[in-house]
Structure 1
């Protein structure tokens, strides 16, 4: 069975902008403008992984009950899986390249077009696999939580995009570490100067042994959630876990859910904590990916640690107010609208406003839309003539 390269889009132009819609329609903001040089890589961030079609039900009053039918007040669909991270990075103005396998069904075509044409993501390393159907996840959001059901098969042998010995020349790469499964490309990329940012998922083995994550040694930053960090370090406090992890990686960032995030610089000993922004959450799908994308953006731009945490938390908070994972990721238009909105109220905490004052130097010209923003509900779309 042969693979097909569908003529993926080339790496997007600098500062493609933000928000859904045709490439080029959004305001131009390049967070790396101050650090770009003539001989820099054409790609800012490389990712590889599995793209799912996400179907999201929202507005459920409770979890589905066995033997009953539940009706959701909202529904949408969007590319998911690694597409969440890729879209979040692209919408923040980073030139993003993704290596993934796509099914040749309607779901795969929709995901490919949404990422390449809608978001300007470089899919040159990706492949379409004939006869392979796209993995699908159904996500149900209720009471601030979510339940997911997924289905999919591994691509046939030899048909998935070959994992390169190293990614394209790039500033950074985001890797998902799996216990006991080292990825050779991570070590090769790190040796060539690529900055590796890593997160991880639940350890199904139950061992929670950092030695089972050998690629951690190549990572500049490790960004687990609080429960994962405590289990890996044997601590009962996420802040203590962050300090313990900082002995293993240059930067440890622990997300604290509704309490924000805490980070420790292993080289300098600097620690920073930023509280979460209170928002009305519609769907938390992909919020962790958006947080990582925000932190990567701030790091590559050379921002102070506290600003990076604040920005990552803000982008994650804005994302949960919309359907889905990838299509809910905010861009600079949404960020600018939020910043203008909160500054208009006299009862704002001055210290809290100062925490986000660094946005002033980034947002001029990022649009003048009012808050709250409402984007089109994501869907697979209608056929011609409807």
Structure 2
């Protein structure tokens, strides 16, 4: 039996955020904002931390620099009970870091240093250790220069040969990203991109057509996040369905996609149906949207599960 519920592998970044910032300060001047924070973020990092907060036993495999930013990320993740033994230190790159001014409508812009996300890789022993979990989540394809391509394919293929459940998400995908992604698709149980990223890769716009395109490429379950409009799901064993998002006052959309994936993973880990897992994922994402940064106001599993049934839903858009 695997040691962990989840291994999250890939993109880890330190986000620094301020709200609200609707314009850049004048040169030499300053703009006063209501709040600032820093958070564990990234397609692997935020998802892993959110899963730990929701009660899963989590390890992460990623890379940071020999710097205070890396020290803080490792310390913060460990403080939430995560195993950080597979977080390596780059000899020449700084920790990946973003500065995010958040506008009053919750949208974000970014100044970004990829840093150690470009140097992350796994040795054979480290890969076997990373696969010691029921669920393997690879997050960040497109920003993992040393791990994209064959190393990622090998990881997912090996995961499936061991009987693991695989989850996959990427970042900043465009029409060229499909070259990195297509060899991975047959090894993916749950593919959880945004509709914008998935549409760019598939060359289609309607969620049903996009989902069918990825299904034909080998993905078992396609889960397309629709930003404020909820989620479209094409299960492997049932009819497609769409679920609405919660009606909440959005503070910041940073990390909503990563937190949705965390909610989905949590439901899958508990043996829930895909519909209930997606419902819970929407609620986790809503908690993140209600606060600043990739954890927002997320607290724990029980509080989130109660909100899944109590918080109002938007009208479903078809």
User: Shared topology, TM-score over 0.5?
Assistant: yes
User: Aligned to 2:176, what secondary structure does the other structure show?
Assistant: coil
Query: Is the 1:221–1:249 contact (alpha carbons within 8 Å) kept by the matching residues of 2?
Result: yes
Query: Is the 1:173–1:194 contact (alpha carbons within 8 Å) kept by the matching residues of 2?
Result: yes
Runs of 4+ aligned structure 1 residues displaced above 6 Å come to: none
Among 45, 49, 54, the alignment partner of 1:92 is 54
Aligned to 1:227: 196
The answer to whether the aligner puts 1:216 opposite 2:180 as a matched pair is no
Aligned to 1:262: 232
Shift, 1:129, TM fit: 4.7
Distance 1:339 1:235 in 2: 31
Aligned to 1:198: 168
Q: How does 1:1-386 map to 2 (within 5 A)?
A: 40-60=1-21, 62-64=22-24, 67=27, 69-81=30-42, 82-116=44-78, 118-129=79-90, 133-142=94-103, 143-154=105-116, 162=123, 164-166=126-128, 167-176=130-139, 178=141, 181-182=149-150, 183=152, 184-203=154-173, 206-207=175-176, 209=178, 212-247=181-216, 248-266=218-236, 268-326=237-295, 328-335=297-304, 338=307, 342=311
Change (3 A) 1:320 1:211: closer
Distance 1:177 1:52 in 2: 10
Shift, 1:330, TM fit: 4.0
Report Cα offsets for 1:223-265 as digits up to 9, x if no partner: 1111122233332311321233233311011111111001011
Query: Is the 1:177–1:213 contact (alpha carbons within 8 Å) kept by the matching residues of 2?
Result: no
Q: Let me know the Cα RMSD of the aligned residues.
A: 2.9
Shift, 1:79, TM fit: 2.1
Distance 2:10 2:59 in 1: 12
Report Cα offsets for 1:47-72 as digits up to 9, x if no partner: 22243221101122x24277574332
Query: Is the 2:65–2:90 contact (alpha carbons within 8 Å) kept by the matching residues of 1?
Result: yes
Distance 1:156 1:244 in 2: 29
Shift, 1:201, TM fit: 2.3
Distance 2:4 2:70 in 1: 24
User: Aligned to 2:228, what secondary structure does the other structure show?
Assistant: helix
| Count of residues paired in the alignment | 302
Query: Is the 1:200–1:224 contact (alpha carbons within 8 Å) kept by the matching residues of 2?
Result: yes
Unpaired runs of at least 5, structure 1:
1-39, 343-347, 353-386
Q: Identify the range of structure 1 (287-296 vs 63-72) with the bigger mean alpha-carbon deviation.
A: 63-72
User: Aligned to 2:115, what secondary structure does the other structure show?
Assistant: coil
Query: Is the 2:280–2:305 contact (alpha carbons within 8 Å) kept by the matching residues of 1?
Result: no
Shift, 1:181, TM fit: 1.8
Change (3 A) 1:340 1:225: closer
Distance 1:47 1:132 in 2: 21
* Normalised TM-score (structure 1): 0.70
Report Cα offsets for 1:248-300 as digits up to 9, x if no partner: 3110111111110010113x242221100011111111110110111111122
Query: Is the 2:229–2:245 contact (alpha carbons within 8 Å) kept by the matching residues of 1?
Result: yes
Distance 2:39 2:205 in 1: 37
Query: Is the 1:84–1:325 contact (alpha carbons within 8 Å) kept by the matching residues of 2?
Result: yes
User: Aligned to 1:302, what secondary structure does the other structure show?
Assistant: coil
Change (3 A) 1:101 1:323: same
Distance 2:89 2:258 in 1: 24
Q: Identify the range of structure 1 (65-74 vs 144-153) with the bigger mean alpha-carbon deviation.
A: 65-74
**Where is the helix percentage greater, Structure 1 or Structure 2?**
2
Distance 1:296 1:78 in 2: 20
Change (3 A) 1:212 1:254: closer
Query: Is the 1:94–1:297 contact (alpha carbons within 8 Å) kept by the matching residues of 2?
Result: yes
